[in-house]
């Protein structure tokens, strides 16, 4: 019974193909695709060839549907290999742009001859390109690819997108007067242009600039974006385990790297640099151990300084121009009075507290100026330890 049904399917399929080819020239790829579903077979040129009894007669005519696009695929593959030779990759994905007339002709044939289902012409083009490219480059097709190719058959172009990578690390700052954040290129305002060689920086004289320069060189990329875990003043030092940060690397040409445990740059050191699968989408909670050097306008009163011990009982409130009040906690606090008008404060505090605002009269409630009934100035503050309150994922 199964044999008879198969013979019937083959016979009816042959009649269908003959009827189409009486008036329309089709290539073996398009014939194979149109009949594959009814025969429960994979679409292929060899399947179409078995049913194309008019190959010789129609050889000089272009395929009505694809305009012989499949005959050009080897040239497309050569172009892809040439363009991707500067990238290190093991997986890829192919997409394509075809002329609307090709899809219209495909729909027309399916409608006229009542052919239902089956894959689209674009899907088969992508499949054939992917199969040939994978074979020649010994790479694999993936839904999360290293490289994505967009083949435009309208203008014969090939665009490549390299999937972004993510890096986690920490830095310590051993010299003062190094700003944390970059100065953006004046010409493009940080977007990337020819003037700044597409990295978006005016110069590398910052923590961000030095990290950007290093990672752009290591990954042969043009631009990175750093997600900071807290911030500091340019005069602040960072010691202990360092300040953590996440980096998104755009259009990398190199994908897998191992870093030294410690990398020394100009005034900063990088620690624990490693690739991770992705960076956190939400803000990362952290705590900081900070030392703050405070000067006062008039001599500090000892009885008022003792009040500092009690601010641990209630959260600090940060008022942001009518927006939602943010509450932060102080976990430990001690102080050392160095002279009548100066005090050094050591405390463990939630991340996100603006240190200068905490010292000087501001929207942070309470602040030292109000507590000490004195005009206080934050001369300098350093970070002794920064602890992230969640895990960072590792490859």
Q: Which two tokens stand for residue 29?
A: 């790829």
Residue 112 backbone phi and psi in degrees, to 5: -65, -40
Residues 162 and 151: their CA atoms lie apart, in Å, by 15
How does strand 330-339 pair with strand 342-350? antiparallel
Nearest to 120 by CA among 95, 140, 139, 141: 95
Q: Which two tokens stand for residue 101?
A: 């007339």
**Where are any strands of DSSP class E within 219-341?**
223-228, 238-250, 262-264, 268-276, 286-296, 316-318, 326-328, 330-339
Contact 224, 247 (CB under 8 A): yes
Spatial CB neighbours of 210, under 8 Å, sequence gap ≥ 6: 204, 265, 266, 268
Decide if 233 is catalytic: yes
Catalytic annotation, pick one of 9, 68, 233, 272:
233
Q: Which two tokens stand for residue 132?
A: 């040939």
Residues 78 and 138: their CA atoms lie apart, in Å, by 14
Edge to edge, the sheet with strand 140-141 lists 140-141, 91-97, 147-152, 157-162
Residue 294 DSSP symbol: E
Name 68's bridge partners: none
| Angle at alpha carbon of residue 16, lines to 35 and 45, rounded to 5° | 35
In this structure, the dihedral spanned by the alpha carbons of residues 301, 316, 376 and 352, taken in order and rounded to 10 degrees, is: 140
Residue 86 DSSP symbol: G
Catalytic residue set: 233
């Amino acid at each position: 019974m199964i044999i008879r049904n198969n013979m019937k399917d083959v016979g009816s399929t042959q009649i269908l193909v003959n009827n189409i080819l009486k008036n329309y020239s089709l290539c073996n790829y398009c014939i194979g695709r149109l009949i594959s579903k009814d025969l429960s077979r994979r679409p292929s040129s060899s399947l179409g060839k078995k049913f194309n009894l008019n190959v010789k007669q129609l050889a000089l005519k272009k395929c009505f549907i694809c305009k012989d696009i499949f005959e050009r695929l080897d040239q497309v593959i050569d172009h892809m290999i040439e363009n991707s030779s500067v990238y290190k990759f093991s997986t890829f994905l192919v997409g394509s742009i075809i002329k609307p007339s090709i899809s219209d002709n495909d729909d027309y044939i399916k409608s006229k001859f009542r052919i239902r289902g089956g894959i689209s012409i674009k899907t088969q083009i992508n499949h054939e390109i992917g199969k040939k490219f994978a074979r020649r480059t010994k790479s694999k097709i993936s839904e999360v690819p290293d490289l994505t190719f967009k083949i435009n058959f309208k203008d014969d172009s090939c665009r490549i997108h390299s999937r972004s990578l993510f890096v986690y690390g920490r830095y310590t700052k051993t010299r003062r007067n190094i700003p944390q954040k970059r100065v953006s290129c004046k010409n493009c305002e940080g977007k990337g242009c020819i003037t700044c060689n597409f990295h978006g920086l005016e110069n590398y004289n910052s923590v961000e600039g030095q990290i950007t320069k290093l990672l752009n060189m290591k990954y042969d990329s043009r631009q990175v974006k750093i997600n900071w875990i807290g911030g500091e003043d340019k005069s602040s030092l960072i010691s202990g385990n360092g300040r953590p940060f996440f980096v998104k690397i755009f259009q990398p040409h190199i994908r897998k790297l191992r870093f030294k445990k410690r990398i020394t740059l100009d005034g900063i050191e990088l620690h624990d640099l490693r690739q991770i699968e992705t960076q956190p989408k939400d803000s990362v909670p952290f705590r900081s151990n900070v030392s703050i050097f405070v000067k006062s306008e008039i001599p500090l009163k000892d009885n008022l300084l003792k009040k500092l011990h009690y601010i641990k009982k209630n959260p600090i409130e940060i008022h942001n121009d009518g927006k939602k009040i943010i509450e932060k906690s102080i976990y430990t606090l001690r102080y050392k009075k160095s002279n009548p008008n100066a005090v050094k404060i050591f405390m463990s505090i939630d991340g996100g507290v603006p240190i200068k605002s905490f010292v000087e009269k501001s929207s942070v409630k309470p602040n030292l100026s109000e507590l000490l009934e004195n005009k206080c100035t934050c001369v300098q503050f350093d970070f002794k330890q920064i602890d992230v309150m969640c895990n960072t994922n590792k490859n």
